[in-house]
């Protein structure tokens, strides 16, 4: 009991040096534990963006590309899924529900999503987070829109505001649909997911705003007439005439002849059917009746030859994407470990350099009967005390910062940092820091042991 008491009093006598060393360890541990906490929070926020969905289905393509544009609102889909294919899979015996998405428009940089009421009833995020409304209701007609919380906050919109959508995705819109204004009828609650950064309309609204765009030209421009041809360009076709064939295309059939499509197909294709009823689905989420049927349904979708689609399991795709982004995560961890190492080295230097001022103290302790083991134990306990107190202070600092900054970080960056107990990794880090503090105390203790009693009692000029 005497040695711990002496160690505490010794640290108190060197209050400035002890405090600086303690703060150095505390900040190092706070950074290490804080980075790990942020890493876990980012991963949980990332993986919990979508929950309870068994499959994400879209046109045939890459897994990550489908995940990014269907869930995170990033990237551009290359193709759509026809309404025939969507209806066929929606009626599959293994499918319990679907949430269709129709993308392709935006508003001031925010993506517009055409969907159905199943989105508000079925979509889940985090544990059991549901899509709810802070104000208003879900769109019910083709001229109504609901806003994510970030859209409403950043643009200053509220229920009753009139907005015009833009043809094309964010950053690449080519024309506003001013002829079909939309009225805001609802504002969603904050979810800290990509839902906050989107506008939601009905599937019928997507068809309405693109009516007359079948040839890729807005109806207003088509009605106004084509612009004059460029010098050297072919003259425009006469009214009622067929457009000239593309280079290398087959010549048009003679009057009364059977068309090539009719000659080679027994009926309309999926693309024809989708064009006929005017509905194109970019992607859709699937919930199965039984989780055991998910893999079988995924294989059936991915091998279907009638219309190629890609079906991915959200958890598998999220894990693959997280592995792709894992390099930055490991980089942050390495930097924080180096900071802790620097803090421990600073503690070692502080203890080692203080021995010069404590020569007489060590010599007096040895003169009154303190053996080498007690001298070593004294210095090792001082080092361990500093490391343990610094680790505890660092952990407390992390929780204090979380309590103060959790809300602002969530509102500013959409990053949810949960207030949770230390995990196995954080406890291992704290334990290693404390153990390293005790081990590093052996270095100054060995030097103090090697110093002779006469050297400590002699006066140096």
Q: Using one digit for the tens of pLDDT, what is the confidence trace for 44-102? A: 777 778 888 999 999 988 888 898 899 988 888 878 999 999 999 999 999 999 999 99
Taking the CA atoms of 215, 217, 220 and 223 in sequence, report the sign of the dihedral they define: negative
- Give the mean model confidence (pLDDT) for residues 303-330: 84
The whole-number pLDDT of residue 377 equals 79
- Of the listed ranges 11-20, 334-343, 450-459, the one predicted with least confidence: 450-459
- Give the mean model confidence (pLDDT) for residues 318-326: 77
Which tops the pLDDT comparison, 217 or 347? Answer: 347
Distance in angstroms (rounded) separating the CA atoms of residues 94 and 92:
5
**What pTM was estimated for this model as a whole?**
0.67
- Of the listed ranges 83-87, 92-96, 302-306, 378-382, the one predicted with least confidence: 378-382
Among all chains, which residue has been given the structure tokens 């990237």? 75
- Give the mean model confidence (pLDDT) for residues 253-276: 37
């Amino acid at each position: 009991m005497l040695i711990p008491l002496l160690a505490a009093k010794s640290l108190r006598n060197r209050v400035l040096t002890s405090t600086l060393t303690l703060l150095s360890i505390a900040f190092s541990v706070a950074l290490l534990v804080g980075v790990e906490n942020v890493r876990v929070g980012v991963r949980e926020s990332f993986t919990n963006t979508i929950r309870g969905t068994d499959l994400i289905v879209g046109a045939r393509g890459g897994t990550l590309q489908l995940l990014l544009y269907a869930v995170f609102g990033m990237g551009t889909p290359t193709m759509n899924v026809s309404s025939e294919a969507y209806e066929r899979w929606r009626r599959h015996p293994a499918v319990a529900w679907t949430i269709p998405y129709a993308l392709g428009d935006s508003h001031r940089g925010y993506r517009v999503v055409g969907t159905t009421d199943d989105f508000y009833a079925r979509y889940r995020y985090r544990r059991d987070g549901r899509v709810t409304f802070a104000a208003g209701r879900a769109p019910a007609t083709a001229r109504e829109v609901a806003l994510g919380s970030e859209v409403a906050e950043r643009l200053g919109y509220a229920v009753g505001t009139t907005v015009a959508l833009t043809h094309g995705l964010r950053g690449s819109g080519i024309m506003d649909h001013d002829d079909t204004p939309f009225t805001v009828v609802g504002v969603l609650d904050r979810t800290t997911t990509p839902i906050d950064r989107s506008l939601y309309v009905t599937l019928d609204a997507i068809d309405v705003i693109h009516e007359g765009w079948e040839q890729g030209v807005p109806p207003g421009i088509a009605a106004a007439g084509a612009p004059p041809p460029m010098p050297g360009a072919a003259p425009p076709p006469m009214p009622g005439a067929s457009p000239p064939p593309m280079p290398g295309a087959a010549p048009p059939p003679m009057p009364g002849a059977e068309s090539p499509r009719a000659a080679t197909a027994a009926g309309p294709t999926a693309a024809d059917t989708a064009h006929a009823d005017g509905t194109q689905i970019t992607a859709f989420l699937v919930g199965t009746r039984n989780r055991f049927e998910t893999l079988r349904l995924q294989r059936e979708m991915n091998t279907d030859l009638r219309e190629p689609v890609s079906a991915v399991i959200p958890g598998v795709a999220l894990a693959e994407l997280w592995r792709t982004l894992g390099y930055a995560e490991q980089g942050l961890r390495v930097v924080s470990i180096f900071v802790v190492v620097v803090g421990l080295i600073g503690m070692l230097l502080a203890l080692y350099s203080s021995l010069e001022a404590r020569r007489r103290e060590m010599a007096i302790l040895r003169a009154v009967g303190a053996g080498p083991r007690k001298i070593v134990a004294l210095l090792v306990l001082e080092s361990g005390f500093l490391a343990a107190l610094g680790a505890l202070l660092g952990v407390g600092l992390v929780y204090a910062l979380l309590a103060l900054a959790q809300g602002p970080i969530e509102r500013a960056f959409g990053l949810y940092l949960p207030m949770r107990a230390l995990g196995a990794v954080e406890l291992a880090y704290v334990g290693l820091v404390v153990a390293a503090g005790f081990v590093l105390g052996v270095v100054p203790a060995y030097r103090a042991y090697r110093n002779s009693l006469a050297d400590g009692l002699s006066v140096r000029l």
